[in-house]
Amino acid sequence: MRIFASLFVIVLALPVFGADDGSAKITGSIAAPKALKSFDKLVLEVRLYEYDPRIADKAADLVDMLEVKDFSHTEGKETTETIELGAKAKIKPGMSYYITVFVLDGKDRTYIGDLAHAPNGFAKVLTNGEPREIRGTLRSVKK
């Protein structure tokens, strides 16, 4: 009877473990809140980076990037953009991943995305219990 119960639990768990195909796919949304000043025809840039947490002096590698051109927002109304990136990449063993979110006016960063799961600013994703789905809120970059 114990063997049957154990097999039953394993069979139930298989879809959960089999669902992860090793993809580095990230989904979610980035919101410009109502209170944010209006802007027109800027670029929303979301980047996924990979780094080796065991090596301190090596720069992270860009895995994928999403650019939303002509990104606009009107003060008084929330603007939300759905995002997806990293679907063609695979998670590499031992590596870690993070996301950056900026709104660009030319080469100048005018807004930064604060991610709900990363209140301290370093937005890790994908590994070590970090999420595959993100929720970001834009705020002005102070100069």
pLDDT digits (tens, 9 = 90+) for 46-59: 999 999 999 988 89
- Give me the pLDDT at residue 76, please: 94
Distance CA 21, CA 111 (A): 34
Distances (CA, A) of 110 to 26, 33, 93, 99: 24, 15, 35, 17
Instruction: Identify whether the C-beta of residue 16 lies closer than 8 Å to the C-beta of residue 79.
Output: no
pLDDT, tens digit (0-9, with 9 covering 90-100), for 87-121: 999 999 999 999 999 999 999 999 999 888 776 67
State the pTM of this model. Answer: 0.80
Q: Work out the average pLDDT over 17-44.
A: 85
pLDDT, tens digit (0-9, with 9 covering 90-100), for 45-96: 999 999 999 998 889 999 999 999 999 999 999 999 999 999 999 999 999 9
Structural class in CATH, domain 21-140: mainly beta
Weakest mean pLDDT among 22-31, 63-72, 127-136: 127-136
DSSP lists the bridge partners of residue 65 as 47
